Amino acid sequence: MDSATFRILDANLNRAREGLRVLEEYARFVLNDAIASTSIKRARHALAAAANGIDYSGRLLGRNTPGDVGTKITTETESSRRTTESVARAATARVAEALRCIEEYGKLVDVEVAGRIEQLRYDVYSIEQDLFAVSPRRQRLRQAKLHVLMTESLCAAPWLDTATAVLQAGADVIQLREKSLGDAELLRRARQLRTLTDSFDALLVINDRPDIARLANADAVHLGQEDLPADEARRIAGPTILIGGSAHDQPEIASMLAAGVDYLGVGPMFASGTKPDVDVRGPDLLTLASRLITESADCGGNASESTASNLVGSASTPLVAIGGITASNVAALSLPAGTSFAIAVCGGIIGNNEPAAATRRLLAAMNADQDAPDHRS
């Protein structure tokens, strides 16, 4: 093989490796996203393994940095970055371009190596989607503290007015939970809530229906034990919509974690009018779920080699406590420091004649509990 081909392969292997490191640092330190960090790390290792099929000595002998005319060619945009995201976006494009060059010129060396690089290029496309479309949703979900479930029959005021009021009062997530609406009306309401939540920079979750979630561009779909399995729901919802699930005991928690849900609702914490037939497991179930998430993450799970979007039991999997939670009992819910933890409330807020006031009281109680010196210690 001629030295020019070696130079091309060497330059682009370096470019791809360096670009992946830039992306990994963004996922790790800017997004604090274990799932994205893992997928990028796997891509780096896959690139290193593929590079072993290209003669290292030939690459070094062909390298001619002082004589490379490209080192002196620059553009204005190349030297300008405004945000960490713009750094990562530029690195993503650079990695994909480099991989395409390696793939094409690699065919002169080893068709199998070129094929592995081709697959890696597809993986980088998925990584790009995960970093800039999915990870921001995961990040906002980890930061959320209050989910409000919207069911019109339980609202004391008109449902859309109620949703507006709780968002104005500081709710982070609205979950549309309507079991008896027809599909057309459910989609109409989902789209109304999408517009409303966007105006408050809040998240929208659709209960049970991955198809409606996708059509309304919701942030997540929430699945119960009798709903579609998480992997089937992902096929319908698409790769950018998060999947959440409910669990009421240890086997159900383990099953949801094994399915790779993006967040886990556990409960009921206390007696709940919306789930009267479910045994109350209490706050200990929340502690158990936190422990199982940590243990599952430590075991490494069975995530795909090409993408970590289904990473089992990620240590950052948010927990959402559900069932009978009020301003007077929320202090009973506590987890170790650093655990991503929110609460979900339905009738206690939307059934109140003043849902905004009820929302503020609950948030104030949560904040007061967090300020207590022994909280989550």
pLDDT for position 11? 94
pLDDT tens digits, residue range 338-362? 677 899 999 999 999 999 999 999 9
Q: Which residues of the chain have pLDDT under 70?
A: 1, 69, 71-79, 273-276, 297-315, 338, 369-377
Ramachandran assignment for 173, one of left (phi > 0), alpha (psi -120 to 50 degrees), beta (any other): beta
Which residues share a beta bridge with 344? 147, 322
Given a contact cutoff of 8 angstroms between Cβ atoms, the answer to whether 142 and 36 are in contact is no
Ramachandran assignment for 313, one of left (phi > 0), alpha (psi -120 to 50 degrees), beta (any other): left
Q: What does the chain come to in residues? A: 377
Three-state SS sequence of 142-186:
HHCCEEEEECHHHCCCCHHHHHHHHHHCCCCEEEECCCCCCHHHH
pLDDT tens digits, residue range 204-228? 999 999 999 999 999 999 999 999 9
pTM of structure: 0.86
pLDDT for position 370? 65
CA distance 185 to 53: 57
* Alpha carbon 143 to its chain's center: 12
